[in-house]
Chain A
Amino acid sequence: MRIGMMSFAHLHAEAYIGNLRAIHDVEMIGIADDNTERGQHFANQFGAPFFSDYDSLLAEKPDGVVICCENNRHREQVEMALAAGVKHILCEKPLATTLEDAQAIVQQVDAAHATLMTAFPMRFSPPIREAYATIRAGKLGNIIGCNATNQGENPGYHRDWFVDKRLSGGGAVMDHTVHVVDLMRWIFDSEIAEIYAEADSADHPLFAAPGLHIDTAGILMITFTNGTFVGLDCSWSRPNYYPTWGNVRIDFVGERGLIVVDSFAQHHITFSQPNRRPLWDYWGSDTNQALIDEFAASIRENRQPMITGRDGLKAVEAVLAAYQSAETHDTVKLA
C-alpha cells in the first residue's frame, strides 16, 4: 500500500515516517507541506520525496494519508484528501478545534465511505492494555474513580504554533485532555456525562512564558455515565529542564483495590554530561509504531480502524466542555 504524509507541523510526524517505513508492505511516497521550508527540511532529514503542495501528493493516488498539520487545518486537509479519493486517513489529535469542524470531518468521511483514524497512541501502550485487561476481567470490581495526569512541558519550546491559539485551538487543555478522555471512554465503554474544570485563561496563564497568550494549566473532573469520576491534570507543568517530556499516569481506584499505571515508567536514568540534567531514556514499547501498524492493517484488511473519527469527535466535545466549564465556573453536561 502507498501512504503519503500531509504536513510536518506536528512533532509526531517525525516518528510516524519511520513507523511507516518499518512496515513491509507500506510504501511511504513522500512528504507534502505548504510550509516549504519545513517540508523541505524534513524531506532532506528523512531522505523522502518532497511535494510543495498537497494536490501533487494526492495526484499520486495514495491508499492512505497521515495528516499532521496544525489543529485548525485538520478539516481542510481531510476534505482535500477525500476530494482526491483517498479512502483511509489517519489524523493527528485533537481531531479539530471546533465542534462544527469535528462533526463535519466525521460526516464527510462517512459520506465518502472512507475510514478515519484519530491518532491516540496511548491505546497501544502495553501498561495501559494490561490495566484494560485487568479491569475488563472484573478483577478490580467497579471502578470508583481515577486520578490521572497527562502533564508535559510547554510544546511551544519545539513548535510555535502549539501556543498560537488560532492554529492550535487552545493550550494545555486542548493538547492534553484528549488522550486520557479517549482511554477512559475505551476502558469503561462509557460516555462522559459531565465535566468541571479549573484552568487558567489565555490572558493570565499560570506558566507564563514571554509573549505567550494561551492556557497552560488545567485540572478537569470528568464524570462518566457509569458513575466513575476522573480527575485529570493536563497542565504544561513540567519545566523544559525536567528529565523527560512529561507523563501519562493513572491510578484506577476500584471496589477491590488499586491499579497504579505509569505509562512511561519503563526508562533508565542517564547521567552523561557534567552540568547537564539527567535524562530518562524510555525503553518501553513504541506506541506510535503500534498506532501506525493498526492504521496499515485497517487499510490492508479494508476495515474500520480500532480508533475512529467518532472517538476523535467525542474527545473534542470533552475539551470544549472543559473550556466552557473553566470559563463559567460551573459543571457542563454532555449530550
Chain B
Amino acid sequence: MRVVIIGSGSMGTTHAAGWHSLATDGVTLVGIVSANRASAEVLTQHYGGKVFETLAEVLPLVDVVDICVPTDLHLQFTLQAAAAKKHIFCEKPIARTLADAQQMIEACNAAQVRLFIGQVVRFFPQYQSVQRALTQGKIGELAVLRLTRVSYRPQKEAGSWFMDFSRSGGPLLDMLVHDYDYARWLGGDVARVYTRVSPPDAGGISDYAQVLMRFRSGAIAHLEGGWCYPPGMFRTKIEAAGTGGLIEWDSDSTAPITSYIKTQPGAVADVGLPLSPLTIDPYAAIIQHFYEAVVNDLPFAVTPEDALAALQIGLAAIESAQSGKPVTLPK
C-alpha cells in the first residue's frame, strides 16, 4: 500500500508515524503534500518519501490519500482523491458542514473507494473497554453518561484555522466530535441537545462548552469540552451510570506515570504531566485498522455515516449555543 499524506501539521505528523509503524507490512509513505515545506521535510527525513507541492502530481503514485488538512478543506481533497479512485483516510470531523460531508460520502460511494474518518477515540483502550463492559451487560442499560475532554488552546501561530470558528467549529466541534461519536456508540441516536458556551472571542471561538443530551433511548448525557485549561493540561473522563451498575474512568487518577522534573537545578518541579503509555498507540492502531480493513476488504469499525451523525450532533450543539434553546435532531 502506497500512501500520501496531505498536511504536515500535528495530525499529519502523528499519521506519518502511524504509517511508518506498518512499514514491515508493506506500507510505503510516498510523501507529504504540504504548503509548509519546512515541516513536511522534517517528516520525510524521518519517515521517508518526498515533499510534493500538489496532490495531482502524486496521485498516480499512490493507493491511499490521507487527508490531514483543516476541516473545511476535507471536501475538495476527498473529491480529488475519489475521482482518481484512491481510498481515503480523512481526519475528524468529517467536514465543517453537513452538505460537505454528504457530498464526500456520495462521491466515494460513486467512485467505489473506501472512505474512513479518523474518529480515533474509538481506538483508545479505555473507551473500548467501557463500551465492551456496557455491551456485555455489566452495568445494565445506559442511563446517565458523562464525558469530559478539556485541554488548552492549540499552540498555533496567529491566524491559524483552528482559531477561526467558521473553519474549525472550535472545541464544540473539533474536540467534542470525539465524544458525540462515542456517546452514539454507547447510547445510540441522539434526540435532543442543549448547549452553553463561554463568550466567543474575535474568531468566534468559545473556549469552553457544556452539552446536555437526550438519547432516543431515554438516557441522558453531559458532555464537557474546551481549550480553556492552562497550557500543558489535558483531562478526559468517562462515567457511565447504568440501571445495574456504574463505570468511572478519568485521566487524572489513572495515569500510570507522572513526571515532576526540575527544569533547572534548584527550581520547583514543573507541573506533573500525566501520561498513559501503551504498547500500541491509538493513533497507530487506527491506521492499522484502516490498513487491514482495506487490504482484506473488511468493514470499518466506524463508518462515514457514524462520522456524519457525530457531525450532525455537533452542528445541532452549535445551533443551540447560538440560539440558547434546545435543538431537536431529525430522525
Binding site for B on A (CB under 8 A): 144-145, 147, 149, 151, 194, 196, 198-200, 204, 206-208, 217-219, 221, 223, 227, 229, 231, 233, 235, 237-239, 242, 253, 256-258, 329-331
Asked whether B212 lies within 8 Å of A231 as measured between CB atoms, the reply is yes
Asked whether A219 lies within 8 Å of B245 as measured between CB atoms, the reply is no
Indicate whether B30 reaches chain A with its CB closer than 8 angstroms: no
Closest to A229 in B: B196
Binding site for A on B (CB under 8 A): 143-144, 146, 148, 150, 192, 194, 196, 198-199, 207-208, 210, 212-214, 218-222, 224, 226, 228-230, 233, 241, 243-246, 324-326
| A-B contact list, 28 entries, CB within 8 Å | A144-B208, A145-B198, A151-B241, A196-B212, A196-B326, A198-B220, A204-B218, A206-B144, A206-B220, A207-B241, A219-B220, A219-B222, A221-B210, A229-B196, A231-B210, A231-B224, A237-B143, A237-B246, A238-B246, A239-B245, A239-B246, A257-B229, A258-B229, A258-B230, A258-B233, A329-B326, A330-B325, A331-B325
Closest to A233 in B: B222
Q: By CB atoms of chain A within 10 A, which of B194, B214, B233 has the most?
A: B194
Closest to B192 in A: A329
Taken together as a complex, chains A and B put the C-alpha atoms of A238 and B240 apart, in Å, by 11
- CB neighbours (8 Å) of B219 from chain A are 206
- CB neighbours (8 Å) of A329 from chain B are 192, 326
Closest to B320 in A: A196
Within the complex, the shortest CB–CB distance from B146 to chain A, in Å, comes to 6
Q: By CB atoms of chain A within 10 A, which of B192, B208, B324 has the most?
A: B208
Closest to B217 in A: A206
Supposing A145-B196, A147-B148, A235-B241 touch, asked if A219 and B246 sit within 8 A by C-beta, the answer is: no
- CB neighbours (8 Å) of B241 from chain A are 151, 207, 217, 235, 237-238
Within the complex, the shortest CB–CB distance from A299 to chain B, in Å, comes to 41
- CB neighbours (8 Å) of B222 from chain A are 147, 219, 231, 233
The 9 closest A-B pairs by CB, nearest first: A237-B241, A206-B143, A229-B196, A144-B198, A231-B210, A198-B220, A219-B222, A257-B230, A235-B144
Taken together as a complex, chains A and B put the C-alpha atoms of A248 and B230 apart, in Å, by 24
- CB neighbours (8 Å) of A221 from chain B are 194, 196, 210, 212
Within the complex, the shortest CB–CB distance from A197 to chain B, in Å, comes to 8
SS class, residues of chain B in contact with chain A: strand
Taken together as a complex, chains A and B put the C-alpha atoms of A235 and B325 apart, in Å, by 23
Taken together as a complex, chains A and B put the C-alpha atoms of A198 and B224 apart, in Å, by 16
Taken together as a complex, chains A and B put the C-alpha atoms of A227 and B207 apart, in Å, by 15
Taken together as a complex, chains A and B put the C-alpha atoms of A200 and B222 apart, in Å, by 14
Taken together as a complex, chains A and B put the C-alpha atoms of A239 and B210 apart, in Å, by 26
Asked whether B224 lies within 8 Å of A219 as measured between CB atoms, the reply is no
Closest to B206 in A: A144
Taken together as a complex, chains A and B put the C-alpha atoms of A229 and B209 apart, in Å, by 10
Supposing A206-B218, A227-B199, A235-B241 touch, asked if A144 and B325 sit within 8 A by C-beta, the answer is: no
Supposing A219-B222, A238-B246 touch, asked if A330 and B198 sit within 8 A by C-beta, the answer is: no
Taken together as a complex, chains A and B put the C-alpha atoms of A80 and B296 apart, in Å, by 79
Asked whether B208 lies within 8 Å of A253 as measured between CB atoms, the reply is yes
- CB neighbours (8 Å) of A257 from chain B are 229-230
- CB neighbours (8 Å) of B213 from chain A are 198
Supposing A231-B222, A237-B246, A242-B246 touch, asked if A144 and B212 sit within 8 A by C-beta, the answer is: no
Taken together as a complex, chains A and B put the C-alpha atoms of A214 and B300 apart, in Å, by 42
Asked whether B220 lies within 8 Å of A207 as measured between CB atoms, the reply is no
Q: By CB atoms of chain B within 10 A, which of A199, A219, A233, A242 has the most?
A: A219
Taken together as a complex, chains A and B put the C-alpha atoms of A229 and B324 apart, in Å, by 12
Within the complex, the shortest CB–CB distance from A236 to chain B, in Å, comes to 9
Asked whether B218 lies within 8 Å of A219 as measured between CB atoms, the reply is no
- CB neighbours (8 Å) of A242 from chain B are 246
Within the complex, the shortest CB–CB distance from A119 to chain B, in Å, comes to 26
Taken together as a complex, chains A and B put the C-alpha atoms of A141 and B192 apart, in Å, by 33
Asked whether B220 lies within 8 Å of A217 as measured between CB atoms, the reply is yes
Taken together as a complex, chains A and B put the C-alpha atoms of A151 and B239 apart, in Å, by 12
- CB neighbours (8 Å) of B220 from chain A are 198-200, 206, 217-219
Asked whether B208 lies within 8 Å of A217 as measured between CB atoms, the reply is no
Asked whether A237 lies within 8 Å of B144 as measured between CB atoms, the reply is yes
Q: By CB atoms of chain B within 10 A, which of A204, A208, A229 has the most?
A: A229
Closest to B252 in A: A260
Asked whether A147 lies within 8 Å of B224 as measured between CB atoms, the reply is yes
- CB neighbours (8 Å) of A147 from chain B are 148, 210, 222, 224
Asked whether A253 lies within 8 Å of B226 as measured between CB atoms, the reply is yes
Asked whether B230 lies within 8 Å of A196 as measured between CB atoms, the reply is no
Within the complex, the shortest CB–CB distance from A105 to chain B, in Å, comes to 32
Taken together as a complex, chains A and B put the C-alpha atoms of A194 and B196 apart, in Å, by 11
Taken together as a complex, chains A and B put the C-alpha atoms of A198 and B210 apart, in Å, by 13
Asked whether A217 lies within 8 Å of B144 as measured between CB atoms, the reply is yes
Supposing A144-B208, A235-B144, A331-B325 touch, asked if A198 and B228 sit within 8 A by C-beta, the answer is: no
Taken together as a complex, chains A and B put the C-alpha atoms of A223 and B199 apart, in Å, by 13
Within the complex, the shortest CB–CB distance from A111 to chain B, in Å, comes to 39
Closest to A147 in B: B224
Asked whether A217 lies within 8 Å of B212 as measured between CB atoms, the reply is no
Asked whether B245 lies within 8 Å of A331 as measured between CB atoms, the reply is no
Taken together as a complex, chains A and B put the C-alpha atoms of A253 and B208 apart, in Å, by 8
Within the complex, the shortest CB–CB distance from B301 to chain A, in Å, comes to 28
- CB neighbours (8 Å) of A218 from chain B are 220
Taken together as a complex, chains A and B put the C-alpha atoms of A237 and B143 apart, in Å, by 8
